[in-house]
Amino acid sequence: MQTYRCTCGNRLYFDNSICLACQREVGWCEGCERIAALEPINAADGAATGEYRCGHDDCGKNLRKCHNYVVEAVCNRCYLVEKAVVAEQGPAANEAVQANVLCRSCQLTETIPDLAVVGNHEKWGRLEAAKRRLIYTLDRLGLPYANATPRLTFDFKADIVPPNNEWRNVGAKEIVYTGHADGKITINLREADDAAREALRVQFHEAHRTLIGHFHHEVGHYYWQLLVQNQREAECIRVFGDHNSPAYADAMAAYYQNGPQQNWAASFISAYACAHPWEDFAETFALYLDMISVLDTASQLFRAGRANFRSRSVAPLVERYQEVGILVNEFNRTVGLIDLVPEVVMAPVVEKLKFIHKLLNKAAQPKPLVPEVAPVPLSVVAN
């Protein structure tokens, strides 16, 4: 993740909706794909039009805030508006046309939780925030999702359970399973509850359990369907094993009964990865996206040089990721936090990452590449 500059010169962060130095409203500009100061555009009589100009001089596009920014306060993105709408039909017409418009990220969410339930609004906000980071990373890699078939979509839902101490049956119980099916990523709202999620992390002996981590894993299943299924299955089988045998349901039942194989760490990135080749692919995919996200952040904050995500070889990326990991893990340990990079990436896992790297490079849409800068030694930048 990069950081950005306000018109006043202050540093802005990806989640900001206001500049703490000058109090300007800020938001994500879908024109230049940066957080930008939002300069209000007023009508001739001085009335607010609800439109803004992107504060970056080299962009200056006309923007409107996403509906979920204005009304729900769970988004900080702005979408592009055509200048012609305001100029030709006036602000009132524009208001009508643009009402309830969602940004590119919010459009992908098809189901949101019941906002009448206390706490759900806040949990939904956390899920959207983590999802925006996923979308940012997919865009950085130039991957298809919004116009792909199937299109990537999201459901954020809570279990339906009878209220506690209720003596009568209040209807069918519905348990929401976090997972992916045919383009749709479903996340159980409970994952956005910090205490509940941490309890699960401890129960399952996981190094990390985060909303972003869930997205990174589930979107791996999505890209398997989009880019591997019926296209490169034979090649994938050579790297990850045969996903047809044993059948997924049998493999998962056996995993939950017997646990992971003893020496899993020699060739898998996590214990769960050895449950079935599909889970191995998703876990390795999640590692790949973790690596890309961390290197994107490091490239700016550590002045480490932009990582070339489309380099032919994945090995330099892995090496850099492990270097950053050693550094930041030590910071985390200083204050008692868990490691940022808990994994040691073994050679067989690098082979799997190679497959994913090649797969994604092939799928990447032609977009101007970020120029590669020669890496310089890691050094923390004071701001």
Q: What are residue 77's phi and psi, to 5 degrees?
A: -100, 155
Under a CB-based contact definition with an 8 Å cutoff, are residues 23 and 7 in contact?
no
Q: What are residue 196's phi and psi, to 5 degrees?
A: -65, -40
| CA–CA gap between residue 242 and residue 281 (Å, rounded) | 11
**Which of 75/176 has CB closer to Zn ion?**
75
> CB of residue 3 vs Zn ion: minimum separation in angstroms?
13
Q: Does 380 bind Zn ion (CB under 5 A)?
A: no
Q: Does 81 bind Zn ion (CB under 5 A)?
A: no
CB atoms within 10 A of CB 333: 11
Taking residues 258 to 287 in sequence order and writing x for each that binds Zn ion by CB under 5 A, - otherwise, the string is ---------------------x--x-----
> CB of residue 227 vs Zn ion: minimum separation in angstroms?
16
> CB of residue 317 vs Zn ion: minimum separation in angstroms?
23
Near Zn ion by CB under 5 A: residue from 18, 59, 265, 340 = 59
| Residues 186-245 close enough to bind Zn ion by CB under 5 A | none
Q: Does 103 bind Zn ion (CB under 5 A)?
A: yes
| CA–CA gap between residue 94 and residue 90 (Å, rounded) | 6
Near Zn ion by CB under 5 A: residue from 41, 78, 85, 106 = 106
> CB of residue 54 vs Zn ion: minimum separation in angstroms?
3
CA atoms within 13 A on the CB side of 351: 14
Near Zn ion by CB under 5 A: residue from 35, 38, 41, 54 = 54
Under a CB-based contact definition with an 8 Å cutoff, are residues 278 and 224 in contact?
yes
| CA–CA gap between residue 14 and residue 26 (Å, rounded) | 10
Q: Does 21 bind Zn ion (CB under 5 A)?
A: yes
Under a CB-based contact definition with an 8 Å cutoff, are residues 361 and 141 in contact?
no
| Residues 128-167 close enough to bind Zn ion by CB under 5 A | none
Q: Does 108 bind Zn ion (CB under 5 A)?
A: no
- Residue 192: which residues within 8 A CB-CB, separation 6 or more? 122, 123, 124, 126, 127, 156, 211
Residue numbers of the site for Zn ion (CB under 5 A)?
A: 6, 8, 10, 19, 21-22, 24, 29, 31-32, 36, 54, 56, 59, 61, 66, 68, 75, 77, 103, 106, 279, 282
